[in-house]
Amino acid sequence: MTAEKEWIKDLVVYQIYPRSFCDSNGDGVGDLPGVLQKIGYLEELGVNAIWLSPVYRSPNDDNGYDISGYQEIMEEFGTMEDWDRLRDACHQRGIRLIMDLVVNHSSDEHPWFVESQSSKGNPKSDYYIWRDPVDGHEPNNWASVFGGSAWEYVPARGQYYFHYFSKKQPDLNWACLQLREEVYRMMEWWADKGVDGFRVDAISYLDKPQDFPPSSLPPLPDGYSFPEGLAGRPGTHAYIREMNRRVYAPRNVLTVGEVSAPTVEELANYVRTGREEFDMAIPFVPPMVEIDTWSPEKLARDAWESYRALEKDGWWARFLSNHDKPRQVSLYGDDGPYWEASAKLLALFLHCLPGTPFIYQGEEIGMTNVKLPSIQAYDDLDTRNRYHQLLLSGSSPDAALARAQLESRDNARTPVQWDGSPKGGFTTGQPWLGVNPNTKRINVEAQRQDPLSIFHFYRRLIALRKECPALPHGDLAFLDTGCGELVAWRRRAGDETLLVFCNFSQEAHTIPPGLLEGAGEALLSSYDREGGYQGPALRPYEAALFRARI
Ligand code: GLC
Ligand code: CA
């Protein structure tokens, strides 16, 4: 992050997955006029930036992450005039608009690909990655993220094209200068149209080893193996820097890279100021890995390590949720008896760490995972592939469905629950994905009326960012509580000191004497409904924020 970008420290970003946000015309699919209708709601919440998941023309194999027209709006979502109206409405309210940008791959229905696949000699022949068959087969054994081989044969060329994601998402060939120029021109066009930032999708894979060596990793149940060392190759960093020099730097736009980085050092390589790549990074971790490996201690350790890596010259995107993960209250909290306290604890956890908080739609009312009744009820191609791989490896259909219910990305993609009616106020038609039946109990309308709701807790937290300079600007030190489930830290800026305590468990835990010395009244507590912090024991999922008098 450069000095001109200091403003990103004061942002609170709200991610919108437009398909599931609000449907304005009753076709069951959320759209841009729907987002516009709810802009007052976002203003009431207090966020000052929106990240829109892709709204470009797309056949929706991966819900817009497969783009067939980068300078067009998806018909189901509305028109370019709707987008212009949304931009203006955001800017009138001081809300920055961040667009998702998918340039590792396009859709196979993009005119570039249609031309590229038509023959070997066409002008766009090199826009994608084509290889000859080897012994009549795919060029290597690489697996695609969404199942099967990463190669697809096209008879017209007698060649295979490479797709790291689905076969409807062919990878763009970044080694082709002409392609890179087209991508930069398109990005410049959006930036000149008034976009304030880009969240750049799956950006770690731009550069491929041109010889495509076979992978020696163990095969997945369908026989293919994930590539080794594809993420974060030096060539990828060079392309990102080129993109930065060409598009971002001259325009002061905010950039967030979605990166795959096995270590915190590699993550930092995308963000360190001197590297001139991105302002912030969103690390991608597969949902099942996270479900299996997370713990409160690990959340704290990751926060600490990333803080240390970028303390001197970088900045952090902080998030617990997005459209690729299960719902945070179901994953890290408790969606049963401690639903409300744990949703508030997670909010406090996120907003009190150094960095820019990213809220994913519905998180601010504590939306939970959903258990859809059959695999057919799931829409996500990733969920269907994992289910299939589990069956291949011998799982029973019931066990495979149970896994899908736990890890599916559709958990986060059910429509936003605006009210308690059966369709949650999302649409008057047939919603494209089932509304969570708990909309009766968990919805925006009910929470706006209840001053102690999760929604109002988020509002207070966001407002507090402006009142407490230590929240956006303070340093960080974790405190030793002697208990892994009780995570505590201190933030300090100037003469302001904040103390944060989060009890990530269903047991009470006592704050060790001494740690609270000098602490004044609690500013916020996840037990505000019960009269707030009463200590020194923290009740199940109790979290509290103090401003110290010293
Ligand atoms: C990113 C997106 C995800 C998408 C994938 C392929 O990880 O967040 O939703 O499926 O890239 O574009
Ligand atoms: Ca619609």
- Residue range 515-526, pLDDT digits in tens: 998 888 899 999
Using CB atoms within 10 A of its CB, is residue 131 exposed (0-12), middle (13-18) or buried (19+)?
A: middle
pLDDT tens for 526-540 read 999 999 999 889 999
Q: Which atom of ligand 1 is nearest to the CA of 105?
A: 12
pLDDT tens for 152-161 read 999 999 999 9
The ligand placed nearest to the CA atom of residue 325 is: 1
Residue 387 has, within 13 A of its CA and on its CB side, a CA count of: 20
> Closest by alpha carbon to 533, among 507, 503, 490?
503
Measured by CA distance, the residue closest to atom 11 of ligand 1 is 202
Probe target for ligand 1 pocket from 145, 198, 259, 324, with the most ligand atoms within 8 Å of CB: 324
pLDDT at residue 550 tops 70: no
Instruction: Tell me how far apart the alpha carbons of residues 87 and 36 are, in angstroms, rounded to a whole number.
Output: 9
Domain 111-162 superfamily per CATH: Oligo-1,6-glucosidase; Domain 2 (3.90.400.10)
Ligand 2 centroid from CA 428, angstroms: 10
Calculate what percentage of the chain has a pLDDT beyond 90: 97
Instruction: Tell me how far CA of residue 362 lies from CA of 104, 325, 441, in angstroms.
Output: 28, 13, 13
**Fold of the 474-548 domain:** Immunoglobulin-like (2.60.40)
* CA angle in degrees (0–180, nearest 5) for 339-341-342: 65
Q: Picking from 19-23, 103-107, 169-173, 285-289, which range would have the lowest pLDDT averaged per residue?
A: 285-289
What is the chain's mean pLDDT, rounded? 97
DSSP string, 151-163: EEEETTTTEEEE-
| Ligand 1 pocket by Cβ (under 6 Å) | 62, 65, 102, 165, 201-202, 258, 284, 323-324
Q: How far apart are the first and last CA of the chain?
A: 32
Per CATH, the number for 9-105+177-371+417-448 is: 3.20.20.80
Calculate what percentage of the chain has a pLDDT beyond 70: 100
pLDDT tens for 205-245 read 999 999 999 999 999 999 999 999 999 999 999 999 999 99
Residue type at 314 in one-letter notation? G
pLDDT band at 84 (very low <50, low <70, confident <90, very high): very high
pTM summary value: 0.98
pLDDT tens for 391-431 read 999 999 999 999 999 999 999 999 999 999 999 999 999 99
Report the pLDDT averaged over residues 136-158: 97
pLDDT at residue 5 tops 90: no
pLDDT tens for 427-482 read 999 999 999 999 999 999 999 999 999 999 999 999 999 999 999 999 999 999 99
3-state secondary structure of 509: strand
Tokens standing for residue 252: 């002061």
Rg (CA), the chain: 23
Handedness of CA 64, 65, 66, 68 (dihedral sign): positive
Measured by CA distance, the residue closest to atom 7 of ligand 1 is 202
Q: Picking from 178-182, 269-273, 516-520, which range would have the lowest pLDDT averaged per residue?
A: 516-520
